[in-house]
Copies of this chain bind each other. A is one copy, B any other.
Amino acid sequence: MISVDDALDALIALVEPLGTEEIPLIDAANRVLASDAVARRDQPPFAASAMDGYAVNGAEADQHAQFKVVGESAAGERFAGQIKAGQAVRIFTGAPVPEGATHVVIQEEIERRGDLITITEAQNVPGNIRPAGNDFREGARIAAPRLLRPEDVALLASMNIARVTVYRRPVVALISTGDELVMPGETPGPDQIIASNTFGLHALLRDLGAVPRLLPIARDTRESLEMTFKLARGADLIITIGGASVGDHDLVAPVAASLGMEQAFYKVAMRPGKPLMAGRMGESLMLGLPGNPVSAMVCGHVFMAPMIRAMQGLPADAAPQRTARLAADLPANGPRQHYQRARVENGEITVFDRQDSSLLTILAEANALTITPPNAPAMKAGETISYLPL
């Protein structure tokens, strides 16, 4: 058995970032930028008014000073001329500041009669003008790799970048194994249960930016597993669920080996989720998850998620752990790293009493997995513990 950290290092060492593709900006959110994006212009491209008001020469902007309004500068259509002594131009937020003007008097601080305005308040000069390039200059870069959020998309748009180069989304084949499984909606036999892991992992993979493909359930025969592995060809990552323990019916390892799987490691010192397997299989990576429902989802968060991020060019530490204060004492841990279902609220985390790895109800109540390292001593309520958000 190897440690969780060593297993993660081995997994990440297997991964190469996938190729890249150019896509429209409108579809760029939640994708990972693969090449630096370079601003195609200054923003603002001209000195712009920050307020609705009147543009004047700041040297003249004394309280009680009077100006003649000689024109208007609107967003999209500037005042074409130049401001002379005693002149003002009506100006709106975002509009170009006319030549000769160095200050904008906000409209709440003037009195207007016809074409004449009088400043009613003392001014902080210069004010209410955003210089050209105040936000960014042409050539400014958004550095890759970067997971693009809505705020990044807005910034890219303002840089006049209509297409971006991003990493390809990983195609992931999901294979459930076991004679005991039927799909939701089917009528199970008396000894059967419903395949649930593939559905949970399918949803998690979509959240991570992958393209999951649900394959038919593989039965506990070499022939069925081999056929299903063949259906998975072309996937960037093949995930099997179940059949990876040491039971006499666990065929995933021998069948994968016969199909050329080079196994990187097999068992990981963790609870839940010990029987984990990973390696390379032709053009695909292969990850064998335990069949236990909770174990499969926990391993999905702990191992699959970092792989999917790394395949999209993100650093391995891109899923930061968080910390919270324990609501109650926690006993000392055994030799395996322990991931426990917990609920964090207002910075305080409650570890659930029932942790049997078959309990999906407890997993659905949880919004966090606390992380207790191997052989960690007992912890007291109020101490800080690391967790993975769910």
Contacts and interface: CB of A to CB of B under 8 A. Distances in A.
B154 A363 contact: yes
Number of copies of this chain that the complex holds: 2
Contacts of A148: 203
A29 B179 contact: no
Interface of A: 25-26, 28-30, 41, 43-46, 48, 50, 52, 74-78, 90, 92-96, 130, 134-136, 140, 142, 148-163, 178-181, 183-186, 188-204, 206-207, 214, 220, 245-249, 291-293, 297, 300, 323, 346-347, 356, 358-361, 363-364, 366, 390
Closest 10 CB pairs of A and B: A154-B200, A162-B185, A76-B179, A76-B180, A29-B203, A150-B203, A157-B196, A158-B196, A75-B180, A157-B199
Nearest to A341: B151
Contact of A184 (B77, B149, B160): B160
Contacts of A190: 45-46, 78
A74 B193 contact: no
Given A150-B204, A163-B185, 17 more contacts: A26-B202, A30-B203, A46-B191, A76-B191, A76-B220, A77-B179, A92-B247, A92-B248, A95-B180, A96-B191, A149-B390, A150-B203, A150-B207, A151-B360, A153-B202, A157-B200, A161-B184
B43 A75 contact: no
Contact of A247 (B26, B52, B159, B200): B52
A194 B158 contact: yes
Contact of A292 (B26, B93, B198, B359): B93
Contacts of A94: 178, 180, 193, 291-292
A153 B203 CA distance: 7
29 contacts: A26-B199, A28-B203, A29-B203, A44-B193, A46-B190, A46-B191, A74-B220, A75-B191, A75-B249, A76-B191, A93-B292, A94-B178, A95-B180, A130-B358, A134-B359, A135-B358, A149-B390, A150-B203, A151-B363, A151-B390, A154-B196, A155-B364, A157-B194, A157-B198, A160-B184, A160-B188, A160-B194, A162-B183, A323-B347
